[in-house]
Amino acid sequence: MFEHTTKLRVRYGETDQMGYMYYGNYAEFYEVARVEMLRSLGQSYKQMEESGVMMPVIELHCKYLKPALYDEEISIRVILEEMPRARMNFKYELYNEKNELINTGETLLVFVNMKTQRLCFMPKEFTAKLKPYFK
């Protein structure tokens, strides 16, 4: 299993009149945390795309437990429970400054060969970086 935590502050433009973060912005928080998790492994989306592989999101699930509020620093925990092959399942837990769980989510991404537009396996270089975290 691999885990990584990223922190983001809720900006004014991401909120509604009540000071709650707009529901659609949670997916953006997931994306930032996912990108930072990959970067922490020494892998980036840019590198992946330069090697001819893209990672589109094919599923998104989101459960709202409590609102994220304007100017709060949110901790986003990203969890990979299984070693990816052709699919990569990310789980998310968002915590407010009081360390209360406020949101859970999940995204499923697939590896696609950009030339053929077909599903492919995770690049070998990325597999090597993740392998130590899975038995």
Domain boundaries, the chain: 2-133
The pTM of this model reads 0.94
Predicted pLDDT of residue 95: 98
Number of residues that this document lists for the chain: 135
The yes-or-no verdict on residue 131 having pLDDT over 90 is yes
- Torsion region of 98: left, alpha or beta (phi above 0 gives left; psi -120 to 50 gives alpha): alpha
CATH 3.10.129.10 for domain 2-133, yes or no, is: yes
71 is a catalytic site residue:
no
Write out the two tokens for 29.
């928080």
pLDDT of 119 above 90: yes
pLDDT at position 135 is 82
Q: Check residue 128 and give its pLDDT.
A: 94
d(CA 122, CA 29): 24
| First-to-last C-alpha distance (Å) of the chain | 8
106: which residues sit within 8 A by CB, 6+ positions away? 59, 60, 61, 89, 90, 91, 92
Catalytic residue of the set 3, 16, 50, 81? 16
Q: Averaged over 75-87, what is the pLDDT?
A: 97
DSSP element (H, E) containing 4? strand 2-9
Mean pLDDT in the chain? 96
